[in-house]
A = this chain, B = another copy of it.
């Protein structure tokens, strides 16, 4: 039979063991954001996590409500010179034309097959949408997943000649892990295709498919020749997860207002507004691409040009200042941009 003091000692040991496993205790010594320079951005993240997860804090957020949402393109990984999903769709065109040779003479497929990069870059949005619809739909979910997975494993970005999945920002990966270690559920809320991002989100960000909200098309349930049921991807838009579509998508897919949100362009404006408008502690952050040497400089860093990719306007910058969103300067706030540096 154990004595009371032996039980107390054992309880302490167990509590200590669990604390270490959960990353507590150690947090005082180890910097959770080693790739961040000290400054207002890092301070805002650390303080937000401490305030919302310390028991007894007036701004404590119960674990079930700890939801953090992240835009992907330009917030978690490189979006220049073109969204990687658009690269995927363009890369799929030759196989599509092989299967349907009549497309070779039809625009926009003709231009894509010409290989003329300048002409491809100039394709209007309506034509790009035709390419997206043709390469992302009309197949089973399994076929799409297999094709996208193969591409993600083999494609290389034009500047660094590396898989796109290596072009994630190390400091943001640290934020994802830091939040999760403190009980936050991390979600991607992307204008990109939900099915596309789900293919690599778990391996790349530690974010499971069910925590990816994105632009989503419909599927159709049916039966194959073998009688087995399958879902085919239909060219029907269910959710355009950009701009106002982001809070709408968050409501549809999560059903709670996030406590923290991260973005980098006008497409994230409403998500940041919606997040910040909730009660209690809220963190809204906007990543500024001002580092042409290590990554790219665009938006306000380049006189606020309204770029095709990652639009960032003066109005957005002003709103950030007015509403207390924290602007992250890639140049000043990040010690390292990529893990491979």
Contact = CB atoms under 8 A, between A and B. Distances in A.
Interface string A233-265: 000001100001001100111111000000000
A268 to B, nearest CB: 13
A231 B251 contact: yes
A216 interface: yes
Interface string A71-94: 000000000000000000000000
A202 B64 contact: yes
B195 A220 contact: no
A72 B14 CA distance: 39
A255 B220 CA distance: 14
Interface stretch (A110-118, A151-159, A207-215): A207-215
A211 to B, nearest CB: 8
Q: Which of A194, A219, A221, A248 has its CB near the most chain B CB atoms (within 10 A)?
A: A221
Contacts of A254: 209-210
A225 interface: no
Interface string A248-290: 1001111110000000000000100110010000000000000
Contacts of A228: 277
Contacts of A101: none
A229 interface: yes
Interface in A15-54: 16-18, 21
A324 interface: no
A67 to B, nearest CB: 8
* Binding site secondary structure of chain A: helix
A216 B212 CA distance: 18
A248 B209 contact: no
Contacts of A194: 252, 255
Interface residues of A, number: 42
Given A221-B270, A229-B274, A229-B277, A255 B209 contact: yes
Nearest to A209: B255
A141 interface: yes
A13 interface: yes
A10 interface: yes
Interface in A271-329: 273-274, 277
Contact of A252 (B13, B14, B64, B219): B219
Q: Which of A21, A210, A212, A244 has its CB near the most chain B CB atoms (within 10 A)?
A: A210
Contacts of A251: 141, 219, 231
B238 A221 contact: no
A237 to B, nearest CB: 11
A218 interface: yes
A198 interface: yes
16 contacts: A13-B17, A14-B14, A17-B17, A18-B21, A185-B210, A198-B255, A209-B256, A210-B255, A219-B252, A220-B248, A221-B248, A221-B274, A229-B273, A231-B248, A238-B239, A238-B252
Q: Which are the 7 A-B pairs with shortest beta-carbon distances?
A: A14-B17, A209-B255, A221-B244, A210-B254, A198-B255, A229-B273, A219-B248
Given A13-B17, A141-B251, 10 more contacts: A13-B14, A14-B17, A17-B17, A64-B208, A195-B255, A219-B248, A220-B248, A221-B270, A231-B248, A253-B253
